[in-house]
């Protein structure tokens, strides 16, 4: 079910469990601010999620409440991960779902990095 993207942080969400080491992930990268791991249900040959270590529900929550250091550290990690995965030359897509209209499912802010093949139009035709 889609989440609202705002409100109280749910410590029981699946990415909070990954951050606490309670469930495994296929880790790609980690630093003080961020963790990156392969999506469990990949939608492209490369589909990696990058999440901040802080408790933020969505991009709306993150950009309003995170410190400048957390925001800078996080977005630097997104670029670093894409580079590490060899996606800069062919190109890639970064996507963040926020709230009900986007069908955000996991209420811990994350960006998706997609790559490994031509990705087509940004949004499906209606
Ligand atoms: P979103 O709809 O933007 O909230 O995307 C949530 C993403 O998390 C989906 O692409 C899921 O496949 C992915 N996901 C859910 N649980 C896990 C997990 N345990 N490990 C890795 N990815 C997951």
Spatial neighbors of 54 by CB under 8 A, at least 6 apart, are 33, 62, 66, 70
As a dihedral over the C-alpha atoms of residue 106, residue 126, residue 48, residue 8, rounded to 10 degrees, the angle is -20
Pairwise CA distance, residues 31 & 60, whole Å: 22
Q: Are 59 and 50 in contact (CB under 8 A)?
A: no
CA proximity to 34, closest of 115, 109, 117: 109
β-strand 34-38 against 27-30: which pairing, if any? Answer: antiparallel
Catalytic residues: 110
CA of 4 to the centre of ligand 1 (A): 16
Q: Specify the pTM.
A: 0.96
The two three-digit tokens of residue 41, written as one number: 């249900």
User: Does the pLDDT of residue 1 top 80, yes or no?
Assistant: no
CA of 69 to the centre of ligand 1 (A): 25
Question: What end-to-end distance do the CA atoms of the chain give, in Å?
Answer: 22
Atom of ligand 1 nearest to the CA of 110: 3
Pairwise CA distance, residues 35 & 48, whole Å: 10
Q: Are 13 and 108 in contact (CB under 8 A)?
A: yes
Residue 109 burial (CB count, 10 A): 27
State pLDDT tens for residues 39-78.
999 999 999 999 999 999 999 999 999 999 999 999 999 9
CA of 55 to the centre of ligand 1 (A): 16
Residue nearest to atom 17 of ligand 1 (CA): 40
- Which comes out higher in pLDDT, residue 123 or 47? 47
User: Does the pLDDT of residue 5 top 70, yes or no?
Assistant: yes
CA of 82 to the centre of ligand 1 (A): 18
Residue nearest to atom 15 of ligand 1 (CA): 40
Atom of ligand 1 nearest to the CA of 97: 3
Q: Is the dihedral of CA 37, 1, 55, 109 positive or negative?
A: positive
- Cβ < 6 Å from ligand 1: which residues? 14, 23, 25, 39-41, 49, 97, 103-106
């Amino acid at each position: 079910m889609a989440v609202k993207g705002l409100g109280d942080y749910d410590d029981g969400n699946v990415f909070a469990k990954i951050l606490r080491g309670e469930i495994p992930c296929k880790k790609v990268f980690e630093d003080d601010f961020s963790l990156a791991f392969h999506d469990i249900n990949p939608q492209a040959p490369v589909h990696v999620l990058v999440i901040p270590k802080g408790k933020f529900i969505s991009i709306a929550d993150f950009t309003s409440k995170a410190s400048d250091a957390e925001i800078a550290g996080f977005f630097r990690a997104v670029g670093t991960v894409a580079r590490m995965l060899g996606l800069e030359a062919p190109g890639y897509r970064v996507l963040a779902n926020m709230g009900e209209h986007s069908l955000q499912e996991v209420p811990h802010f994350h960006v998706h990095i997609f790559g490994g093949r031509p990705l087509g139009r940004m949004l499906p035709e209606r």
